[in-house]
Chain A
Amino acid sequence: MAFVNMKTKEVQAKIVFYGPGRGGKTSNLEYIYSKFRERIKSEMVSIKTHGDRTLFFDFLPFDIGKIMGYDVKVQLYTVPGQVKYDATRKLVLKGVDGIVFVADSQVEQRKKNVLSLKNLQENLSTYKKSIFKVPLVLQYNKRDLKDVPLLPIEVMDKDLNSQLKVPSFPASAVTGHNVVPTLKKIISATMASLQNVLK
C-alpha cells in the first residue's frame, strides 16, 4: 500500500521486481542505479550471500519528481529468486503497489519462469491481492545472449502473458536495453492505480 502524506505532499510507492533466480532482477536495479546515479541520493542496499545471490532483497529509493502536485518517491525492491527463499520473498511483497516480472529468455529456463509466475500469484493471494489486478509489467530479459538458445517472444507471451495481457518488454538488464522503458511503464501503471486517491 502506498503511503500518501497529505501534509508534506509526498507519495511513497513500493515496486517489486519478481522472477526466477538468476533472471536479472538485481541487474535491473543496478542498471537503474548507475543510470540515474546523480538523481539517487542514497546508496543501493543489497542483502546478499557470499556467492553474490540475493538473500533477502535489494532496495533502491528513487525520487521521480512531481505528479499531480505530489512529490513521488518510488521504492524499488527485488526479491530473492531462488525457490528456497519463499518465506523472505513473501515478506518483501507486503504492501506492494506495482510489480515487474523479470523472466529469463533462455530456453532452458522456460519452466522456471512459469513456476515463478505461479508462485507470485500464490504469494499475492496471501495478501488478498489478485495478480490480475495489481499493476504488472513483464520483462523478457537476456535478449542480448548470443551463445545459448532463446525462447521466441511469441512463446514467452503465450507462456506468461496469454491470460494476464499486460505490457511486456524484450530487454537486457546487462546492456540496459529496455530497462528504463520497463521502469517507466510500471511507474505509470502504479501511479494510475493510485490516481483516485491523489485527486
Chain B
Amino acid sequence: MGSNYDDISFSEYTLGQEQLDQIEAILHEDLVESGVNSVLLIDMAGNIIANRDNGLCDHDVYSLAALASANFAAVDTMAKLVGEQEFSLLFHKGENENIHFSKINPEFLLISIFGKNVTLGLLRLKVTEAIEKINGLLEK
C-alpha cells in the first residue's frame, strides 16, 4: 500500500474487531498477568491501538502515546545518524516505575510500564513472546 501519492488519506493498516480483541487478550495474558502495570500498543503517529492495565493505573495515556512515539522516532533517527539500523533496547528506569519500548513492526510500538515486582529480564522475555504472537496475528 501507499504506492501513490495520497491514495490513502487514512491508515496504512486495518485491524478488525476480532484482531483487536485478540491483541488485547495477548496484552492482558502475557504482560498484565505477569505483573506489568500498564501496556499500550500504539502506532508511530502516536495513536493508541490498544491499552490494558492492572486497574490501578491512572496515566494520561494519550499524552504518553504522543510522547512515546516521538521519543522512539527521535532515538531511531539518532541511531541512523551514528550508522546503526536501530537501538534495540529502549528502556527508562525510575525509582518506582519503568518504561520499556519495543518495536513490533515498522508501524507499531509496544510500551510497557512496570514496577519493582517485574525484572527487566522477565519483562523482555514476555514482551518478545507477546510481539511474536501479535506479529502472527497481523500477518493473517
Contacts of A43 in B (CB 8 A): 60, 63
* Nearest opposing residue in chain A for B71, CB measure: A56
Q: Are A95 and B67 in contact, with the CB atoms below 8 A?
A: no
Q: Are A14 and B63 in contact, with the CB atoms below 8 A?
A: no
Do A94 and B45 contact each other (CB < 8 Å), given the known contacts A1-B10, A59-B63, A133-B5? Answer: yes
Shortest distance from the beta carbon of A78 to any chain B beta carbon, whole Å: 12
Cβ of A128 within 8 Å of any chain B Cβ, yes or no, is: yes
Q: Are A56 and B63 in contact, with the CB atoms below 8 A?
A: no
Q: Are A2 and B73 in contact, with the CB atoms below 8 A?
A: no
Residue of A75, A77, A129, A194 ringed by the most chain B CB atoms within 10 A: A75
Chain A interfacial residues counted at CB < 8 A: 37
Q: Are A194 and B74 in contact, with the CB atoms below 8 A?
A: no
Q: Are B60 and A42 in contact, with the CB atoms below 8 A?
A: yes
A170 to B38, CA, bound (A): 44
Chain B interfacial residues counted at CB < 8 A: 29
Shortest distance from the beta carbon of A42 to any chain B beta carbon, whole Å: 4
Cβ of A6 within 8 Å of any chain B Cβ, yes or no, is: yes
Cβ of B17 within 8 Å of any chain A Cβ, yes or no, is: yes
Cβ of A151 within 8 Å of any chain B Cβ, yes or no, is: no
A130 to B60, CA, bound (A): 33
Cβ of B44 within 8 Å of any chain A Cβ, yes or no, is: yes
Do A95 and B45 contact each other (CB < 8 Å), given the known contacts A3-B11, A42-B62? Answer: yes
18 more CB-based (< 8 A) A-B contacts, given A43-B60, A45-B63, A97-B9: A1-B10, A1-B43, A2-B10, A3-B11, A3-B43, A5-B20, A7-B17, A41-B60, A61-B62, A61-B66, A75-B46, A94-B45, A95-B46, A128-B5, A128-B6, A129-B5, A134-B6, A194-B9
Chain A interface (Cβ < 8 Å from any Cβ of B): 1-7, 12, 14, 41-43, 45, 56-57, 59, 61, 73, 75, 77, 87-88, 91-92, 94-97, 128-130, 133-134, 193-194, 196-197
Interchain residue pairs with CB less than 8 A apart (26): A1-B8, A1-B45, A1-B47, A3-B11, A5-B20, A7-B20, A12-B47, A14-B45, A42-B63, A43-B60, A56-B74, A59-B63, A59-B67, A61-B62, A75-B46, A75-B47, A91-B73, A95-B47, A96-B45, A97-B9, A128-B5, A130-B5, A133-B5, A133-B6, A134-B6, A196-B10
